[in-house]
Every structure is written in structure tokens, then in C-alpha cells.
A and B are shown apart, each in its own frame.
Chain A
Amino acid sequence: MTQTVSRPGAGARKAPLPLDVEAIRADFPILSRTVRDGKRLVYLDSGATAQKPLSVLDAERDFYLTCNAAPHRGAHQLAEEATARYEAARATIGAFIGAPADEVVFTRNSTEAINLVAYALSNAATAKEPEFRRYAVGQGDEIVVTEMEHHANLVPWQQLCERTGATLRWLGLTDDGRLDLSDLGTVVNERTKLVAVTQQSNILGTINPLEDIVARARKVGALLLVDGAQSVPHQPVDVTTLGADFLVFSGHKMLGPTGVGVLWGCYEVLDALPPFLTGGSMIEVVRMEGSTFMPPPQRFEAGVPMTAQVIGLAAAVEYLQQLGMDRVQAHEEALTGYALAKLAEIPGVTVIGPPDTVARGGAVSFTVEGIHPHDVGQVLDDLGVEVRVGHHCAWPVVRRYGVPATTRATFYVHTGYDDIDALADAIREAQRFFGVAQGEVS
């Protein structure tokens, strides 16, 4: 991995970008629309949800046009074809993260995938089947998260602890937006049942060093869940070297449709977990007195699945594979370095998160002195620059850094230097509008 360290104040340089932005933009029809009275759409909110290339839309449409049926049910030809496409998509998506197909469980999104694990762990405590009790969580047990987590990787664990009497503990943050691992040895201990940590912060952009956490979790026999919602779309992720037991990610943040997410789990662990949602297609035998369940991944996929979305996600994966995830990461790193340098040139702008591109992804959060992020976002929007404002579903993070909220720009494969120039110009316009513009630093 190459690392370009931007030096604030050294001037923003436009090195050639690894991806052909103009060619890629042609695949995203939405990017040619205008907003707010004819302004070019500068979409810098891929971290919330990504735009979709035509190939993803075509894949979904083709499924409905040619072989729509409920997979894993019925014996007619359409059902066979739908099942084959659904399972082929599972294999494609699994291969993208280095996983065999039977370790890939489809959920609605990352949030549901995390809830699936959290509920399976509390269901394990009351399961009548002894083989499902292996990972039961109860009183005296501990769950460890970090202060950097998205609410989706925090609230389900708070709730698990409330249901079971377990205790929630967490790793804190350093002033420069990194995980504080100084007390890893005490926070993760023999009582720890599971550690849940994000691979890339959705608000700070920090890419976390997972090696130390993996080693510590292994040593004490705790499960490790990695939230990949912001990493899998933006960098190569391979579960064979990740060292985790679970990885979750969302289709809609990686050019795929909404309504589909993935829980990857090490087969041995998945196989020892009781179900979360129950009903059709996850059962083996059903009698009035009780039921038995299918092996993974079917055990965790109750009801008719989101077949078209899964097929769309496989098309998104193929699109990303054609670009190459190494190049996607390098592209975003170049953009991030440029953005950090551009923002450093604007007096009154403070980046919340790592100040350089070392172990950092393309989520750039910042504050503008004297203007609330909502008001910053409003002026940016008026100029066609679409960013996220607020606490980004990571309220403890903004609290930790003593700001009420931030403005956040996130980049993806269609982002170019022109988008970041538009962002910087719009921030200056916001400062003029609210009368807080300061002298330039050069």
C-alpha cells in the first residue's frame, strides 16, 4: 500500500488519479443531473449511500424481466433459474472478500447483520439445543466496542447487555482520531465474549489497526466482529487474513442496491449459533410441537430473500473488481490527500480526524469556525455540493471531540479533483455568506 502524506500548507497537488473519472461518471446517469437551479451535482455523500452504475440497475431489471421467482421454493423452471442466479451472486460476493459461499448470509444491511449476531448470542443463552449454547452471553460476561463506532455497532451491543446482564466496555480515542489501545490488555480480558470494532470510521476516516485487537481477542478466546460498512466498499478486504469471526457490510454503500447487506461468518461459528429471525426456508422439519433448522447460511435467511438486490450487489462487486480494489483505494487516498491540503488552506476550517493519509480513508469531517455544520451544508447544497451534516450516527465521536456536529465529505470512484475544488470554493462562499471569512493562508 502506498501512503502519500499530505503536508498541510504545502499546497494541494493534483497527482494523476488511478481511476478514469470521466469514463466512470458516464456509467452513473444520476451524476449528469443538476440540482438547485442548474448547478452541477457534486456528490460527496457516498459514505451515506453510493450512487449506482447502470450495470447494477440493468442486473436487477434483467432478473425481473427474465426469471423472477422465489428462490429455494418450487420446482418450476423460473424458480430453478432464480435460485441459480441468487446462489451464483452469493458465490461472487463471497469471492470478493475471500469467503466460500456458505459463509455468506444476506441481511437487509450492516445494521441487521450486527443485530443478527447480537440476538443469536442472547438466544444462545435460552436455546433448548445444547449445540446452540456454545456462545451464550450472560451475567458476568463482557462485550467490548470502541468509542468510534457507528450507532449500528454500538446500540445492538448495549441492548444485548441489557437483555442478558452482560457488561459493555469500550476502547477510547486519542486526540488525533485514532483508537487508544493503551488499555487493550485490561478492557479485553477473560470475561470478554465478543469484541466489535469498525475497520474504518464513518466519521473520522480512520482505518483501524486490527492486528493487535485480533491477537488480544484470540488470546482470551473472544469472538471478533468487524464492521466493514466503510471499508469493504473502499479497500481490499480478505477474510482469510482479517482474523475476524464476523464481517458485516452493506450493499448500498458499495454501488449496490438498498435492502441488501452481508454477514460473513466463519462457518464453524455460524454453525454453532441459533437463528435470529425464524420462519419459512430456514427450517429443516416443522411439527406443531417444534422445529429444527437448516445449516448456515439458510438458517439465517428466513422468508423470501431480496433476490433482485442480491443480484444487483453481485453486479456492483463485478464493477468494483473491474476497477480493482487496490486502485479504488489508491484513488481515494490521492483525493483524500488533496482534500486535506485544500481544507488546510482555508482559515477557520478544522478537520476532525487524522490530519494526513496514513491509515486513513476518504471520509473527511470538518468544522468551520463560526458556522454551524447545518448552515455550512445549506450553503454547500445551494451550490450543488451534497455533503452530510450532523453527528453521522456516531454521536459519541462528536461528543468526544467537543463539537456539536460536523460537515462530512466522502469520496468514491467517480469523485475527481474538480469535486474537491467545488467543495473548497463552497466552504469559502459559506464563510462569506455568514461573514466569518478570514485572511487567506498561502
Chain B
Amino acid sequence: MQLQSMYQEIILDHYRNPHGRGLREPFEAEVHHVNPTCGDEVTLRVHLDGDTLADVSYEGMGCSISQASVSAMYELVVGKSVPEALETGEHFMTLMQSKGDASVAEKLEDELEDAVAFAGVSKYPARIKCALMSWMALKDASARALAATAAPGTHPTTPVGGDKA
């Protein structure tokens, strides 16, 4: 079976025991992203300290790939600056576009840590969106959080309760 190349043990571990799951406060932006072809969903919050991602919290439902991806992303980006995190996201995008080319995965091993295990997903076009959903949500939420913190008092996209803490 080729399945093991996609369902790496690291991915299944993240799926069964997700890291950082649960919505937490404080946060400056919350977004809800869906994968309309299959109904995978993630709600993701970003809390900034300056331009550092002090916390990324989330709830979601969906397949193992989508849920493991957000867990691996959490491990990877919390503590990074927004530009660093977005750069990591670009690396992940490159990995997803690699069509199973092992040399791409090798080069990105340091940058992507556990997330490099998703290399096998790149061979299955229908599943790439599942893996990318949380990264798209992070990009969206970070941009909104930066906009919100740049203009304090205006939280156009933040639900009630977002600035309680």
C-alpha cells in the first residue's frame, strides 16, 4: 500500500493527540475557514505580543490530514514573528506543491520540523486543500490581528469577547 507515505505515524499522532487545541483568550482576531468540497472546518484565533504570535488557538473538525496539519502548525509557529510564520507557511506551500518529490522535502526539513511529514500528501491533489486549510486560516487571522493592533479600538472582525483580557 502507498498509504503509509501519506499517513505518516507523526501525522496520525497529531490527529489523535492534537497540540494546542481549544479556543483561548486573549486574541486579536478570529477566523473561520472551511474546505467547501468536503466540509472540513477550522476556527482559529491569533494572539499577538508585538508582532510575535504569542498564541494560536483553534477548534476544528475534519479529516486526519486537516486536523493533524493545524496541530503541527501550532507547534511550528507559536513564538515566531508573523513574518517568520508566514515564511514557514510559504515553505509548507512549496512542500504541498512538490508532487511527492523527496528532494523538496529534504531541503525543507529544518524549517518545517514535524510538518515535513506531510510531504506524502502532495501526491494526492484532492487532499492538499485539507493540509493547507489551517495555514490559510493563520495567514488570514494574522493579517487581521496586525490590522487590529495597528488601529487599537477597532476590531472589525473580532467577535465580542475578543479583547476582554
Contacts and interface: CB of A to CB of B under 8 A. Distances in A.
Interface of A: 36-37, 372-375, 378-379, 382, 389-391, 395, 398, 404-405, 433-434
B61 interface: yes
Nearest to A36: B2
B69 to A, nearest CB: 12
Interface in B1-44: 1-3, 6-7, 12, 37-41
28 contacts: A36-B2, A37-B2, A372-B64, A374-B38, A374-B40, A374-B64, A374-B65, A374-B130, A375-B7, A375-B64, A375-B65, A378-B7, A378-B124, A378-B127, A379-B3, A382-B3, A389-B38, A390-B37, A390-B39, A391-B39, A395-B39, A398-B39, A404-B39, A404-B40, A405-B38, A433-B3, A433-B7, A434-B12
B62 interface: yes
Contacts of A372: 62-64
Most buried by B among A374, A378, A389, A433: A374
Given A374-B38, A378-B127, A433-B7, A404 B61 contact: yes
Contacts of B65: 374-375
A177 to B, nearest CB: 19
Contacts of A36: 2
A374 B2 contact: no
B127 A382 contact: no
Given A389-B38, A398-B39, A405-B38, A374 B63 contact: yes
A317 B130 CA distance: 39
Contacts of B127: 374, 378
Contacts of B6: 378
Contacts of B3: 378-379, 382, 433
B127 to A, nearest CB: 7
Interface in B115-140: 124, 127, 130
Nearest to A405: B39
Interface of B is mostly: mixed
Contacts of A390: 37-39
A388 B142 CA distance: 34
Contacts of A405: 38-39
Contacts of B38: 373-374, 389-391, 405
Nearest to A389: B38
A374 B62 contact: yes
B100 to A, nearest CB: 14
A404 B67 CA distance: 13
Interface string B76-120: 000000000000000000000000000000000000000000000
Contacts of B37: 390
A395 B38 CA distance: 9
Contacts of A395: 39
B2 A382 contact: yes
A374 B129 CA distance: 12
**A-B complex: 3 closest residue pairs judged by Cβ atoms:** A374-B63, A390-B38, A372-B63
Contacts of A374: 38, 40, 62-66, 127, 130
Given A390-B37, A391-B39, 8 more contacts: A373-B63, A374-B62, A375-B7, A378-B7, A378-B124, A382-B1, A390-B39, A433-B3
A366 B118 CA distance: 27
A405 B127 CA distance: 15
A434 B3 CA distance: 11
A346 B52 CA distance: 49
Contacts of B124: 378
B54 to A, nearest CB: 31
Given A374-B127, A389-B38, A404 B7 contact: no
Interface string B44-65: 0000000000000000011111
A155 to B, nearest CB: 13
Nearest to A398: B39
A391 B36 CA distance: 9
A373 B127 CA distance: 12
Nearest to B3: A382
Contacts of B63: 372-375
A422 to B, nearest CB: 15
A391 B1 CA distance: 27
B53 to A, nearest CB: 28
A236 to B, nearest CB: 34
A405 B64 CA distance: 13
A74 to B, nearest CB: 43
A308 to B, nearest CB: 29
Contacts of A382: 1-3
A14 B127 CA distance: 36
B63 to A, nearest CB: 3
A393 to B, nearest CB: 10
